[in-house]
Structure 1
Amino acid sequence: MKSGKCSIGLRQTLRLLRKGGARLIIIANNTPPLRKTEIEYYAMLSKTGVHHYNGTNRDLGTACGKYFRVSTLAIEDPG
């Protein structure tokens, strides 16, 4: 999180996928199925990898070093 560039949230993730700027998408385990399929569809179109995080959105937010829930995370530059 500190050395690379990433975007947090569904809207920013979808925006990056449409532009083709994302390299990897991380989705929390308890993200609603409709949102998961929408992200996976755009990721397939832009040929971006998708990783399903084995934890809740609260766990993903803690892993990112944030004090709020994070359901989706788009990594632009791994650093």
Structure 2
Amino acid sequence: MLEDLKNALKENKVILGSKRTIKYLKLGKVKIIVIANNCPDNVKKDLEHYNKLTGIGLENFDGTAKQLGIVCGKPFSIATLAILSEQNEKL
């Protein structure tokens, strides 16, 4: 999963944040959802609900939101992110 995330970051195919992740999920443009260990419960429940409806992959990141932010090269915490599907290269 970490390798997929790094490749998606290089190709600019990552959406950061729960609101944008849910938006892109509803549009059917997400391949995988990544959730940090300390993601707020209400956000986690929403994403799990949409995961059940869409069948999109849901991965739990083995670390905190701060650590996920570091992996993504950002100076802030990232509780959730979405890796976009291959068919949406022109976003």
TM-score, length-scaled by structure 1: 0.92
The structure with the greater share of residues assigned to helix is 2
What 5-or-longer segments of structure 2 have no aligned partner?
1-8
Which of 41, 51, 56 is 1:48 aligned to?
56
Q: Is the 8 A contact 1:61 1:69 kept in 2?
A: yes
Q: CA deviation at 1:4?
A: 4.4
- Deviating 4+ runs (over 3 angstroms): none
Which of 13, 16, 35 is 1:8 aligned to?
16
CA RMSD, 1 decimal: 1.5
Asked if 1:65 is matched to 2:73, the reply is yes
Query: How many residues matched?
Result: 79
Q: CA deviation at 1:2?
A: 1.0
The higher-RCO structure (CA 8 Å, 6+ apart) is: 1
Three-state SS of the structure 1 residue aligned to 2:30 is coil
Q: CA deviation at 1:47?
A: 1.2
